[in-house]
A and B are shown apart, each in its own frame.
Chain A
Amino acid sequence: AQSVAQPEDQVNVAEGNPLTVKCTYSVSGNPYLFWYVQYPNRGLQFLLKYITGDNLVKGSYGFEAEFNKSQTSFHLKKPSALVSDSALYFCAVRSGTYKYIFGTGTRLKVLA
Chain B
Amino acid sequence: DSGVTQTPKHLITATGQRVTLRCSPRSGDLSVYWYQQSLDQGLQFLIQYYNGEERAKGNILERFSAQQFPDLHSELNLSSLELGDSALYFCASSVGGQPYEQYFGPGTRLTVT
Whether the pair B58, A46 counts as a contact (CB closer than 8 A) is no
Per-position 1/0 for A21-54, Cβ under 8 A of B: 0000000000010101000001111100101000
Interface size for B (C-beta < 8 A) is 24
Whether the pair B58, A99 counts as a contact (CB closer than 8 A) is yes
Q: A43-B4, A99-B56, A100-B58 are in contact. Are A105 and B105 (CB under 8 A)?
A: no
Interface: B48 (CB within 8 A)? yes
Q: Which of A10-18, A76-84, A90-98 contacts B (4 or more CB under 8 A)?
A: A90-98
Whether the pair A45, B45 counts as a contact (CB closer than 8 A) is no
CB nearest to A6 among chain B residues: B42
Interface size for A (C-beta < 8 A) is 21
CB nearest to B105 among chain A residues: A43
In the complex, which of the residues B45, B97, B103 has the most CB atoms of chain A within 10 Å of its own CB atom? Answer: B45
Cα-based distance from A94 to B94 in the complex (angstroms): 14
Per-position 1/0 for B34-61, Cβ under 8 A of A: 0100000011110010000001111000
CB nearest to B109 among chain A residues: A41
CB nearest to A49 among chain B residues: B101
Cα-based distance from A94 to B106 in the complex (angstroms): 22
A101 to chain B, nearest CB (A): 7
Cα-based distance from A82 to B13 in the complex (angstroms): 41
Q: Which parts of B58-100 form the interface with A (CB within 8 Å)?
A: 58, 90, 92, 97, 99
Whether the pair B104, A43 counts as a contact (CB closer than 8 A) is yes
CB nearest to A51 among chain B residues: B99
Interface: A102 (CB within 8 A)? yes
Known: A34-B99, A45-B104, A49-B101. 6 other contacts (CB 8 A): A43-B107, A44-B104, A46-B102, A98-B56, A104-B42, A105-B43
Provide 26 A-B residue pairs closer than 8 Å at the C-beta atoms, listed in order of the A residue. A34-B101, A34-B102, A42-B106, A43-B2, A43-B4, A43-B106, A43-B107, A44-B104, A45-B2, A46-B103, A49-B101, A51-B99, A90-B43, A94-B99, A99-B56, A100-B33, A100-B48, A100-B56, A100-B58, A100-B102, A102-B35, A102-B42, A102-B44, A102-B45, A105-B42, A105-B43
